[in-house]
Amino acid sequence: MKIRFALPKGSLELETFKFLEEAGYKLEGYERSYRPEINDPDIKVRILRPQEIPRLVEEGFYDIGITGIDWVIETKADVEVLQDLEYGKVKLVLAVSKEWRNVNNFENLLKKTLEEKGTLIIYTEYLNISCTWISSQKSYRRLFGESEPQVITPWLKKGTNSKVRIYLSFGATEAKPPEIADAIIDVTRTGVTLERNNLKPIEVILESSAHLIANKNSLRDPVKREKILDVLSLLKGVVEARKKLHIFINVKEENLSKLIPLLPALKGPTISPLSKKGWYAVNTVIDEKSFLKILPLLRRYAQGLVVHKPRQVLPLDEIACFDQKQ
């Protein structure tokens, strides 16, 4: 039985293919087809817009998928979030024209627009997140209580508060202010696009990254579950490997007891005697961010050092714990 795997098109596309390659998967034909071949005969791949993937996974059209957590939240999809893949990091921000120098937060924005024109108009692709966030702001609740902002699309209008309107944007969201919109709610990675469109962020609404999600019924199927856990293991292995270093150390016996207690490791280092009497090899995996901190200790106590960047570090005990909890 094949599992159906939905991969994101667009801004996450190339990073996703690179990530899968690091996990050992090879995809062919994705440049020409939305149905590329993958080197695992038990997986069937389809490339889709990330906005669609959470709902399609929830409804069982796909067993697993990769999408931004922002779209899981926006669609309110009832899926199992298996793993933060820690790439494709963006922020969803509220942004206004840089000409509005005195507008530096939502409260300023609300006050300015209501006083000057009686309404606040926001364009976004994230209607649900925007409505929920705006409704939760103290300045909004003070003026409008439990009344929800009006949400407007070409086929839908809901919400009772017409003084704050949230319009669905079909792209080119940054081009809307100030003629069409007072503000936008959109994702940004570096802020360059906002800057080029004379916009500035005034609030961060949420932070997002690519996540592996699964259909809950697929996880209950014994055969599909095993394959999904295989995929999870390999992808989680890449997440961990990107944060680790594999180091090999040669150390004299007299320095071994001084070095080992100071050496971070996944569980504990592997220590083996060398052919030369009085010498040992130490083999371990450490957090990359701790390497510069421990380098002075290695220079002091070790006599040889080899550093490798691992392709994968599979935390199989964590996968086993996950399996037992489900």
- Tell me the per-residue pLDDT of 254-309, one tens digit each, with 9 for 90 and over: 888 888 887 766 567 888 988 888 898 888 888 888 888 888 888 888 888 889 88
Q: From the CB of residue 160, how many other CB atoms can be counted at a distance below 10 Å?
A: 10
Query: Cα(53)–Cα(185) distance, rounded to whole angstroms?
Result: 21
Task: Please enumerate, as own/partner, the contacts of 193-197 that have beta carbons within 8 Å and a separation of 24 or more.
Answer: 194/93, 194/95
Task: Please enumerate, as own/partner, the contacts of 320-323 that have beta carbons within 8 Å and a separation of 24 or more.
Answer: 322/229, 322/232, 323/225, 323/229
Domain 91-207, CATH among 3.30.70.360, 3.40.190.10, 3.30.420.40, 1.10.600.10 = 3.40.190.10
Instruction: Kindly indicate whether the domain formed by 3-87+209-241 is annotated with CATH number 3.40.1160.10.
Output: no
pLDDT < 70 regions, the chain? 1, 264-267, 320-326
Helix axis angle for 222-241 and 13-22, nearest 10°, is: 100
Take residue 115 and report the two structure tokens written for it: 């006083």
What is the pTM (predicted TM-score) of this model? Answer: 0.89
Q: Do 3-87+209-241 and 91-207 fold alike per CATH?
A: yes
> What pLDDT is attached to residue 142?
96
Q: Give, as one character, the DSSP assignment of residue 179.
A: T
**Residue 320 near residue 301, CB atoms below 8 Å:** no
**Residue 212 near residue 83, CB atoms below 8 Å:** yes
Which architecture, in CATH terms, is 244-312?
Answer: 2-Layer Sandwich (3.30)
> What pLDDT is attached to residue 322?
66
Domain segments of the chain: what residues? 3-87+209-241, 91-207, 244-312
> What pLDDT is attached to residue 325?
65
Query: Cα(47)–Cα(36) distance, rounded to whole angstroms?
Result: 8
> What pLDDT is attached to residue 256?
85
User: Looking at this protein, which amino acid is placed at residue 316?
Assistant: L
> What pLDDT is attached to residue 324?
64
